[in-house]
A and B are shown apart, each in its own frame.
Chain A
Amino acid sequence: MNNATPSNTIVERVASDLGKYPPFDRLPEQRIRQVAQSLFVEYHEEGEMLFRKGEQLGRFSYMVMKGAVRLFDTIDGEEVLVDLCDEGDLFGVRAIFGTSDYLLSAQVVEESLLFAIPVETIRELSLSEPSVAAFLTGEIAKSVQNIEHSLSEAFDLRRGALEPSELTLRCLLDNEPLVVDQVREVITCPPHIVIREAARIMSENNIGSIIVVSENRHPLGIITDTDLRKKVVAVAGQVNERPVSEIMTSPVYTITAGKTVADMTMLMVRTKLRHFCITEDGTPDSPVSGIISEHDIVTSEGVNPAVLMKSIMQSESVEQLGAERDKAEKLLQMYIAQEVSIHFVLNIFSELNDAVIVKAIEFALAGMKAEGMKRPDVEFCWLSLGSEGRKEQLLRTDQDNAILYADPPPERREEVQRYFLELGKRVCDTLVACGFTKCPADIMASNPQWCQPLGGWMNYFRKWIQTPEPKALMHSTIFFDFRPVYGSTPLAMEMKRQILKEVEQGRGFLQFFAKNALQNPPPLGFFRNFLVEKSREHAHEFDIKARAMMPLSDASRVLVYEQKIGDFLSTTERFRRLGPLISGFEELAAEAVDAYEFLILLKTKHGLANSSSGRYINPEGLNKIERQTLRNVFSTIGKVQNMLNLRFQLDYIRD
């Protein structure tokens, strides 16, 4: 090696990467270049260990330039995550001042590019630059706190005296999935025994299924109660004496052990199967080690969407309905904790919420009938509006709903409205009892203004569309997201058809609509200095709904109305549908879907943890991955808004 001057270009390149992050961002350029010149660039693959707890301190501290590294402690052989470092984070700082060994282990979680900075460089720097010294003292203090915090949490968990619901909440925080208990002592039989014999084994052992195995215990097929009913009992002739191999279902669906409740629920939905065979390597070519049936999955946590749906439908009182909806909240916690695909969660919850509404309407109709109120011979449709209309309501937030009914003959107008208004009031009250609070703006079916015949509704829409006025438009967007939940869907479709026709004729409306969607620009320069709300109540918090979700849902709404899509869709469904329709939009639309799903997840997690709507988020409470993802989400929002701006030539419209 030689002592010639290093390449300026490369040193500058490294310095400009390094200078983006604290503590180097405050240093004069010349200083940053000195650090850059002394460092080493390392690439590490997922899983590699950089140092271990108890090892002697090394010669370098590290800054993550790309990828992620987790720092964890080991307690009684169990790993406890202490910190997750991503782009711009410095770790291994103990090596600078410490005299003992490493207190934590560092492992690469996704392929990473690291700057290894010699400890002498940083030591010298901290002597001459007070800002660096202050930063490092803070980092070290923080890491000690982090360790203590994680420890106390781990011990709490071990004490095991937690309530089940609290435990699920813990899971939410700790990401520790609940594993389905498998049946370990599996009853099996060889393929050549006769059906009668297999049935005898099943009834002796009181089991609903038996696995047919080869000599080396590899699964060949399965026989269940259903097979016996359908293929044996119901069939004429002496089937009983035939070998089991003739009626078994084959092959068996095999999996490896250790699947979570969420995994199994998804698998059950996807495969429509009710029994899963566990083998040593998850294929049919290894010995059977267990079996999981639908029953095991359902009883694992006591909550299951199918069971819940059934009990909601069979509720006999408002109290019972409310209690069932409370159970759904637990299911939600579990799903979020286990990172079940948000798409799946949204579908289940809009079904559950709809079922609660349907039940509430049925209660009201039955009650009114019992009290002798005669239902007018006019079709009606219960509409969900806003986020519930877009099937995006996971947490029970405000109600936004309305009633639409067919135009009655003029002489019966009042009588008909009186009836539906009473219906609206009763349903809204029931929903309040089930935990859906009243809409502060009173956009509910109990308000005469929003309990209207088709003609009345079209007057509203025509006014919004023909003379778009920014403020009125802003408040009317939730109506454009209406979705039929109960009653006559064709009536709702007719209204949608008429609205689309108006939009087509109403020149300039889409521009206004689009402009409204750009009301909330996303915060752009966002890293370690989040844009927070100025209002006193939510000072230092970030309004995730207005600043991140609304820009996307607004944009998707404008585009579906522009593309004349009549279906009642969620924001993500809209983007999925729009992708192939608008040229050059496919990739961005897919990005928007991911972004929106992430935001719903974040808002829900936050809402569950704080028993709130989750709308206002304290940036300090976000973990690094969330912060980083959020940053990408903002850039996606920026791109979507840009696209809207160009498409509707909004730069030409002046306020």
Chain B
Amino acid sequence: MIELIRKKLLLRRCRNGELPESVCRYLHRVDEPFRAQAPIEAARFVIFDTETTGFDFKSDRIISIGAVSMRGSVIGVADSFEALLRQEVTSERDAVTVHGLLRRDTDSGLDERDAAYRFLDYLGNAVIVAHHADFDIAMINQVLARHFGIRLFNEALDTASFAKRLEKGPYYNLAHKSGEYRLDNLCERYGIRLYDRHTAPGDSYLTAQLFQRLLAVGRKAGIDTVGKLLLK
């Protein structure tokens, strides 16, 4: 309910011309009503990943976003997305060793605002899918809040939780064995060849392949609509 009011307030700001065009286009698209009965095969998913300067979403910044889309269970290579961001905050040494992006790489990147416009245009009202989605969504939300005072309104699914739900049922406590659901381990378990690991587009392509396999497992368990997939 609060969500709905928030969306309506934002759309009013659009009508008053207080928000950029891209942002408003996005807000209109996510305003379409959620259709739980829609078959999964007709839904558009955007599988995305971010690389950041660190793991604190208050002080750290996104330095790259990669994404690929799926229509149902089919990955469309053409409908993919990649952006490098220029940031003032430098990466912690640890993070550099993970994603391998140095300052001089990101200097040639987009400014955060432009990257956000492009990403929102690309995203539209797709269902967001990401591995450990909470973190990536929170990072994007920080950007959106900082520049436009909005956040993401898309439906979202975390592949780690989805895998857990399919393998162990909904009430399994993930906390003490979280390692089993790391992207590397899941890829290995589902026979997906690892490459381009720890680049945002590379990880998103891997996550998409994982999602394909999870959807196939889910289909056998009767998960065939978006509503069943998102437990709504």
Candidates A38, A43, A45, A116; contact of B78 at CB < 8 Å: A38
How would you classify the secondary structure of chain A's contact residues: helix, strand, loop or mixed? mixed
Q: B193-227, CB under 8 A of A: which get 1 and which 0? A: 10110010110110011001100100000000000
Using known A-B contacts A1-B79, A9-B196, determine if residue A41 contacts B201 with beta carbons closer than 8 Å.
no
- Considering the complex, which residues of chain B in the window 132-185 have a beta carbon less than 8 Å from any beta carbon of chain A? none
A7–B74 touching, CB < 8 Å? no
Interface window among B5-13, B99-107, B116-124 = B116-124
| A120 vs chain B, min Cβ distance (A) | 13
A7–B209 touching, CB < 8 Å? no
A622 contacts chain B at the CB level, 8 A cutoff: no
Interface window among B31-39, B52-60, B65-73, B87-95 = B65-73
Q: How far is the CA of A2 from the CA of B67 in the complex (A)?
A: 13
B76 contacts chain A at the CB level, 8 A cutoff: yes
Q: CB-CB < 8 A to B124: which residues of A?
A: 1-2
Counted as pairs of residues, one from A and one from B, with CB atoms less than 8 Å apart, the total is: 82
A36–B216 touching, CB < 8 Å? no
Q: A13-44, CB under 8 A of B: which get 1 and which 0? A: 11000000000000000000000111111111
A13–B195 touching, CB < 8 Å? yes
Using known A-B contacts A13-B196, A13-B202, determine if residue A2 contacts B122 with beta carbons closer than 8 Å.
yes
Q: Which of A2, A41, A111, A116 gathers most chain B CB within 10 Å?
A: A41
Candidates B73, B77, B118, B196; contact of A4 at CB < 8 Å: B118
Candidates A7, A38, A113, A116; contact of B67 at CB < 8 Å: A7
A500 contacts chain B at the CB level, 8 A cutoff: no
A98 contacts chain B at the CB level, 8 A cutoff: no
B82–A9 touching, CB < 8 Å? yes
Q: CB-CB < 8 A to A39: which residues of B?
A: 77
Using known A-B contacts A1-B124, A113-B209, determine if residue A10 contacts B201 with beta carbons closer than 8 Å.
yes
B201–A45 touching, CB < 8 Å? no
| A5 vs chain B, min Cβ distance (A) | 8
| B148 vs chain A, min Cβ distance (A) | 19
A43–B82 touching, CB < 8 Å? no
Across the interface, name the chain B residue whose C-beta is closest to A14: B77
How would you classify the secondary structure of chain B's contact residues: helix, strand, loop or mixed? mixed
| A322 vs chain B, min Cβ distance (A) | 50
| A555 vs chain B, min Cβ distance (A) | 29
A6 contacts chain B at the CB level, 8 A cutoff: yes
B45 contacts chain A at the CB level, 8 A cutoff: no
A40–B209 touching, CB < 8 Å? no
A40–B73 touching, CB < 8 Å? no
Using known A-B contacts A7-B80, A11-B80, A13-B202, determine if residue A41 contacts B121 with beta carbons closer than 8 Å.
no
B63 contacts chain A at the CB level, 8 A cutoff: no
How many residues does chain A have at the interface if contact means C-beta atoms less than 8 Å apart? 25
Q: How far is the CA of A13 from the CA of B209 in the complex (A)?
A: 13
Q: CB-CB < 8 A to A535: which residues of B?
A: none
A529 contacts chain B at the CB level, 8 A cutoff: no
| A29 vs chain B, min Cβ distance (A) | 16
Candidates B81, B191, B216; contact of A7 at CB < 8 Å: B81
B23 contacts chain A at the CB level, 8 A cutoff: no
Q: CB-CB < 8 A to B213: which residues of A?
A: 43, 111
Across the interface, name the chain B residue whose C-beta is closest to A39: B77
Q: CB-CB < 8 A to B80: which residues of A?
A: 6-7, 10-11
A271 contacts chain B at the CB level, 8 A cutoff: no
A7–B73 touching, CB < 8 Å? no
Q: CB-CB < 8 A to A11: which residues of B?
A: 77, 80
A205 contacts chain B at the CB level, 8 A cutoff: no
- 9 further A-B contacts with Cβ under 8 Å, apart from A9-B196, A10-B80, are A6-B80, A6-B82, A9-B199, A10-B82, A10-B205, A40-B75, A41-B74, A45-B216, A116-B74
List the interface of chain A (C-beta within 8 A of B).
1-2, 4, 6-11, 13-14, 36-45, 66, 111, 113, 116
List the interface of chain B (C-beta within 8 A of A).
44, 66-69, 73-82, 118, 121-122, 124, 191, 193, 195-196, 199, 201-202, 204-205, 208-209, 212-213, 216
8 nearest A-B residue pairs (beta carbon)? A7-B82, A9-B201, A43-B212, A41-B75, A7-B80, A6-B80, A7-B201, A10-B80
A-B contact pairs, 14 of them (CB 8 A): A6-B78, A6-B82, A7-B68, A10-B77, A10-B205, A11-B77, A13-B196, A14-B77, A40-B76, A41-B77, A41-B208, A43-B73, A43-B209, A113-B209
